């Protein structure tokens, strides 16, 4: 299965990178940090399935 980190940004086509961001900056106060796939050029963020599963609990 393809992960978000193997895809290119839908906005600009740049390869995505794995990044940990404080959950608070995304509006989630109960968690320490969340893993996202982020575009280093335009800043687009994509949420891997594992991150979405953490948010459901």
Tens place of pLDDT per residue across the chain (57 aa): 778 888 999 999 999 999 999 988 888 776 789 999 999 999 999 999 988 888 886
Tokens describing residue 51 = 């991150």
Count of positions (residues) in the chain: 57
Find the angle CA(40)-CA(1)-CA(57) to the nearest 5 degrees: 75
Which helix (H) or strand (E) element contains residue 24? none
Q: For the whole model, what pTM was predicted?
A: 0.78
């Amino acid at each position: 299965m393809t992960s978000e980190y193997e895809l290119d940004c839908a906005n600009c086509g740049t390869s995505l990178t794995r990044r940990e961001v404080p959950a608070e900056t995304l509006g989630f106060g109960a968690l320490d940090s969340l893993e996202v796939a982020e575009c280093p050029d335009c800043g687009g963020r994509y949420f891997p399935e594992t991150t979405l599963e953490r948010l459901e609990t």
